Amino acid sequence: MPLEFAYQPSPQRIVFGSGKLDQVAAEAERLGITRAMVLSTPGKTSLAEDVAGHLGDRCAAILPTARMHTPVEVTDEAMTTVEAERIDGLVAIGGGSTTGLGKAIAYRTDLPQLVLPTTYSGSELTDILGQTEDGEKTTIRDARVLPETVIYDVGLTLSLPVAVSVTSAMNAMAHAVEGLYAPNSNPILALMAEEGIRALGVAIPGIVRAGADEAARGQALYGAWLCGTVLGGTSMALHHKLCHVLGGSFGLPHAETHTVILPHAAAYNAATAPDAMAAVARALGADDAPTALFDLAKNAGAPMALRDIGMPEDGLDRAAEIATANPYPNPRPLARDAIRKLLDDAWHGRLPAA
């Protein structure tokens, strides 16, 4: 059968390497930004101020109010600053929370975005906005939320705590795992996915051994870029749906939730996505993909049970109901009882089971 596929590469500009923060003013000028608002979380205020210093007169405001899961009320508050300061561009430094706030503002305004990631979440590479309102997280795909430029400066990740680095890298890996069995994947994205998983599989143990190892950090950022590109080019399935439910409805931490759920979601789909699982196993130098994902995270000291990251056991039934309420593409049909069993295994931190 002849090979057939459709692929539309992202129009983003990617700047990758060490010391690239110095290029932020030039990249802002390239985007026509003259009154930038620098975004961060409260804990990254000093980094935001550093970016503002590099921007010089192009910085009109600093807003360190980004929060996990992008609450709509935080975006509402940010819009007052956008209007008051006549902001004409957004510069986000941080992880997925900060990128999410920038995307939420861009969704309302279509302002250009320049992102400087400090984690491996990959949100900066997608046209997907996940935001939370009234205890429920919803997703939107829209070209307006895709950042125009991403600056990957390896130096910005050197001080990321090892524990955070591990779960952030596992989060990135999840994008590629699901991208391998997405119905709209293609050979190019499959190559990116497998290489991204391989790079992260090498980087995670390296970072655990030495958190400031620039080579390991570079591999992690490279892998995150590839996996994020896969996320941006395909649709997601059970794994991401479960993580959105657990994060949006139960307030669980984003990257840690991805880390716990990934091996179990892979096991759920393994029999119906054998080629994808073979690629994951090959990338990790293992025989069984779900077990290899579980062992990689466990050996790196990551949390392995939902109960350890704040999930109440009496919420598992509701999570299973929400996750199966609306149909979405997934290699294996969505069965409420089977997903409830998956969540129970994840809550206890058991080895993934098919």
Q: Quick one: pLDDT at residue 326?
A: 86
The pairs formed by 127-130 with CB atoms below 8 angstroms and a separation of 24 or more are 127/232, 128/231, 128/232, 129/70, 129/100, 129/103, 129/104, 130/69, 130/70, 130/100, 130/244, 130/248
Q: Quick one: pLDDT at residue 30?
A: 98
Asked whether residue 24 is domain-assigned, the answer is yes
Banded model confidence at residue 136, pLDDT cuts 50, 70, 90: confident
CATH number for the domain spanning 63: value is 3.40.50.1970
Same domain, 204 and 280: yes
Q: Quick one: pLDDT at residue 353?
A: 86
Same domain, 179 and 313: yes
**Mean pLDDT taken over the chain:** 95
* Residue entry with tokens 């990249």: 27
Which token pair is 292?
Answer: 């290899």
Q: Quick one: pLDDT at residue 166?
A: 98
Banded model confidence at residue 7, pLDDT cuts 50, 70, 90: confident
Same domain, 215 and 144: no
Q: Rounded to whole angstroms, how far apart are CA atoms 98 and 327?
A: 30
Asked whether residue 222 is domain-assigned, the answer is yes
Same domain, 133 and 277: no
Domain final residue, candidates 129, 157, 185: 157
* φ, ψ at 94 (rounded to 5°): 145, -155
CATH number for the domain spanning 184: value is 1.20.1090.10
Of 102, 67, 95, the closest CA to residue 81 belongs to 102
Asked whether residue 181 is domain-assigned, the answer is yes
Q: How many domains does the chain have?
A: 2
Question: In Å, how far are 210, 344, 351 from 295, measured between CA atoms?
Answer: 19, 19, 9
Query: Under the phi-then-psi rule, with left for phi > 0, alpha for psi from -120 to 50, and beta for the rest, what region is 41?
Result: beta
Same domain, 237 and 92: no
Same domain, 198 and 103: no
Using a pLDDT cut of 70, give the percent of the chain over it. 99
Asked whether residue 224 is domain-assigned, the answer is yes
Mean pLDDT of 281-293: 98
pLDDT in tens, 82-113: 999 999 999 999 999 999 999 999 999 999 99
Banded model confidence at residue 135, pLDDT cuts 50, 70, 90: confident
Q: Is the pLDDT of residue 1 over 80?
A: no
Same domain, 148 and 166: no
Q: Is 73 strand, coil or helix?
A: helix
Domain containing 248: what range? Answer: 162-348
Asked whether residue 8 is domain-assigned, the answer is no
Asked whether residue 20 is domain-assigned, the answer is yes
Asked whether residue 6 is domain-assigned, the answer is no
Q: Quick one: pLDDT at residue 246?
A: 96
Same domain, 94 and 206: no
Q: Quick one: pLDDT at residue 157?
A: 96
Same domain, 120 and 232: no
